[in-house]
Amino acid sequence: MQDVKARGLETNFRHLGMIPLDHVYALLRASAALINPSECEGWSTTVEEAKSFGVPMLLSGLEVHREQTEGRARYFGIHDAEALAEHMSQVARSADPGIVRDLLPNLDERVKAFVADFVGLTADVMKNPGAP
């Protein structure tokens, strides 16, 4: 927020601090998009939550983001502010201002697939604990 203030952009940002999970879901339901500009990330919970509500995503071009979204997001270079700004502009122009989303109907299938993948991965690691 110091950088925001130094650039005179205080009216464009609001620091919310810690947000309760039910508020996160409410924000996702009405968001134009989720932005995740991570420089390094494991499997992202925020991406999974956005997927569950069908929220468009603007993600840094990390391989894990591409894998997690199966290519169904807009990606930008980690330090490419212009590409992110262009994606934001495109989303803003196409967003429905009155949208309120519900969970997508395929949530149960996605959770089951995740659990099956995780159990399979765990079993593989247990069989070969020293493998790279």
Which residues neighbour 110 within 8 Å (Cβ) at sequence distance 6 or greater?
A: 51, 52
Beta bridge partners of 36: 59
Q: pLDDT tens digits, residue range 12-23?
A: 888 888 999 889
In this prediction, residue 11 carries a pLDDT of 92
Which CATH architecture best describes the domain 2-104?
Answer: 3-Layer(aba) Sandwich (3.40)
Query: How much is the CA Rg of the chain, to the nearest whole Å?
Result: 17
Q: Which letter does DSSP use for residue 10 in this model?
A: G
Domain segments of the chain as ranges: 2-104
The token duo for 102 is: 């519900």
Residue 5 main-chain phi, psi, to 5 deg: -65, -45
Q: Which letter does DSSP use for residue 130 in this model?
A: T
Rounded Cα gap, residues 78 and 43, in angstroms: 17
Nearest to 88 by CA among 49, 24, 46, 36: 36
Average pLDDT for residues 6-35, to the nearest whole number?
91
Q: pLDDT tens digits, residue range 83-116?
A: 999 999 999 999 877 788 887 777 778 778 878 8
The 10 Å Cβ neighbour count of residue 109 is 10
pLDDT at 132 over 80: no
Mean per-residue pLDDT over the chain, rounded: 89
